[in-house]
Amino acid sequence: MPAISPAFANPVFDTQATFRAVMDAMARPGETRAVPAVLTPPAPLSPSAAALALTLLDYETPFWLDAALREAEDVARWVKFHTGASATPNPEDAAFAFADPLAFPPLGAFSQGTPDFPDRSTTLVLQVAAFTGGFPLTLSGPGVKGDRVFAPSPLAPCLADELRANAGRFPCGVDIIFAGPGSVAALPRSTRIATTRTDEDR
């Protein structure tokens, strides 16, 4: 069994910096925020997604992994060792979920929260290769000045319909954080989504 790679070199500073990046990203949908920590988590967990796990998870926050991350047993072991959080096989039971943007369940499979407790919904972390070059989403709503185009890559075009349905469930619904190289961006459930392509592009 391989040794477990280290977590944050400076836990207090790195956790605070990552948390601020997430909060800023949630407040400004579609804008990227730098994640300064340098990590070498087990593949295929990306460094940015690993930083989010270290910052957001603890023993009270069960997490869910997609098939590729589950198959790499070192990933769940690394997360549990450093955070105390336990993996769940059921997406609806997860406080946080980590997935490839081309291979995850419908957003409705995750916890949506309730009108009285919308904060009990799942936050989905999608590992992306870049924040440009993907299927363009036009964003509007709280935190967005005018319309903003957001095109993370890779991104399944059908996700646009999922995101529109997700926004329609507000105040319930799933918040999404995109973990890219050295940065994060977010689409909170309050963000409205439009696209500029036709159904033939899907």
SS3 label, residue 61: coil
SS3 label, residue 57: coil
**Residue 145: which residues within 8 A CB-CB, separation 6 or more?**
none
Domains and CATH numbers, the chain: 11-102+109-196 (3.40.50.11310)
**What is the per-residue pLDDT across 133-188, written as a single tens digit (0 to 9) for each?**
998 999 999 999 888 999 999 988 788 899 999 999 999 999 999 999 999 999 99
Helices 47-56 and 11-27: crossing angle in degrees, nearest 10, is 100
**What is the per-residue pLDDT across 76-102, written as a single tens digit (0 to 9) for each?**
999 999 999 999 999 999 999 999 999
Cβ-in-10-Å burial (0-12, 13-18, 19+) of 137 comes to buried
From the CA atom positions of the chain, what is the Rg in Å?
16
pLDDT at position 200 is: 41
Residues 126 and 76: their CA atoms lie apart, in Å, by 16
What is the pTM for the complete model shown?
A: 0.93
Considering only residues 1 and 192, tell me which one the structure prediction assigns the higher pLDDT.
192
